[in-house]
Amino acid sequence: MRALITGAGGQLGLELIEGAPPDADLVALDRNTLDIADEGAVGDAVADHKPDVILNAAAYTAVDLAEEEFDRADAVNAAGPDFLRDAAAAGGARLIHVSTDFVFDGAASEPYGSDAVPAPQSVYAKTKLRGEMAVLENPGAVVIRTSRVYSRFGRNFVSSMLDLMRTRDELQVVDDQIGSPTSASGLAQVMWRFAGRSNLTGLWHWTDSGSCTWYEWACAIQAEALDRALLIRGVPIHPVSTADYPTSASRPAYSVLDCSRTIAALGLPQRPWREALSTMLDEMVAPPARPKPSADKA
């Protein structure tokens, strides 16, 4: 299987490279070698590399900044997937795309199924919804909604919390927004499973199991990091409300995703989110020696 990975320099892209099947022939393109918002470049890349599958890990994820940078967020999150869909169709490639739990308004009190009606509340969420709708115009494509993705690579909530815990005397973290942390490593495994299952198409959900608030997640990060000497001291973490911590973009109060359909289709159980967090922090202490498939980054 020849696979083209877009956004290959980000946390999910790097996990896709590390977790690729041993026989995968990879073309890994980061944002410096392929801007998915450039229609011509997308078409040329797919025509030149002739992939069997395109794994789109490229996205504009600055949720608050998107309120000011609508054009760039829309170009990457909406137009880019549209261009990838057209290029994939022209080249006979299968497209697997990642979307977000933020497409929901958070008014629910039980996990959102993939058939739930989206109601995005921010620029970021609206551009992501447009992107998934564009991809799904190709009946053979796959869209996977996920949430709170993190990895030992790149910048994310875990790395940000660790930095703040090392430099601040105390923290305030929102305690009334509930979602499911998701290991990028586990998400990459799911994407590779879909890549090998051409009979599975359409819209799916995937996160690690369980849910928590940002505050609960921060407390778990600190406890697990102290156990591994990634932190030399603990700091007080105070729960605050969304109203006490205003942001430019609105975020859903509840965005847990129902992944039961994906579990049944792939035969792949979810990992509890705290177990997956522990594994990732272990990898920060001692990065695993994994055999890497060859990847053409040109």
Structure token digits, residue 77: 């999150």
DSSP class of residue 117? P
User: In angstroms, rounded to a whole number, what is the distance separating the alpha carbons of residues 77 and 127?
Assistant: 5
Structure token digits, residue 295: 């990847």
Structure token digits, residue 74: 């829309």
Query: How big is the chain, counted in residues?
Result: 298
Task: Give the CA dihedral 32, 103, 181, 36, nearest 10 degrees.
Answer: -10
DSSP class of residue 113? P
Q: Sign of torsion, CA 274 278 284 289?
A: negative
Q: What stretch of H or E contains 28? A: strand 25-29
Q: Which residues are catalytic?
A: 124
Task: Give the CA dihedral 186, 24, 55, 14, nearest 10 degrees.
Answer: 60
User: In angstroms, rounded to a whole number, what is the distance separating the alpha carbons of residues 146 and 167?
Assistant: 30
Find the radius of gyration of the CA atoms of the chain. Answer: 19
